[in-house]
Amino acid sequence: MLLGLDGRGHSRLYEAVEVGKKKAILKALDDVKAHKRKSHSIHLYLCVTKKAYFLETLRMCSEIGVNSITPIVSEYGQKLPIESKLQNALEEGLLQSNAGFLPQLNPSLKFDQLLKSQSSLIYCDNHQGEKKVNVAAEIHLLVGAEGGFSENEREMLKSSENTVAIKFDTGILRAVTCVPFALGRLTTL
């Protein structure tokens, strides 16, 4: 049996009737099933980290139900991998988890563009922040690159009226750890 996922919340079971070198014929075994989205709509703004960590973070985002991901070009960030690699990582996470929904991959933004375009943004910061924040049904979360935010970026975040810092009682977390940890904490508040 094979499970077919369309990335938009639909799945269906199939049986391989005939398998060739270049094509296969599948027979549907059940009706299309529609999956429900989670209670929170999660939009992640992720500063670009080292390629392997960035791709692993994207896989996790598919598994845990992030709705959209926007890569952020920051002062401590790395070079953004090519889009096909990003899309492949998202699809791998979807297949691993049978999540049903493929996150939307948005074009990258520069750090200052993000702050101008967002009306509400929660960001993780080891140096300062609230222990708890009021979370709406729509979460906009910013996670920094390795090394965190530069002093310039931290000042931009502090001076913006649209941002809230959240601090966790942990050591410094890599993005690949911070994303699921932060979303777990935020969605259970």
Tens of pLDDT, residue by residue over 16-56, are 888 889 998 888 888 888 777 666 789 999 999 999 999 99
Kindly state the average pLDDT of the residues 144-152. Answer: 89
Rg (C-alpha) for the chain, rounded Å, is 19
Q: Identify any residues that bridge with 28 across adjacent strands, giving them in sequence order.
A: 14
To the question of pTM greater than 0.85 for the whole model, the response is no
Q: List the Cα angle 182/183/189 in 5-degree steps.
A: 95
User: Cα separation of 67 and 139, whole Å?
Assistant: 10
Q: Are the CB atoms for 138 and 102 separated by under 8 Å? A: no
- CB 48, CB 79: distance < 8 Å: yes
Backbone CA torsion sign across 150, 151, 152, 153: positive
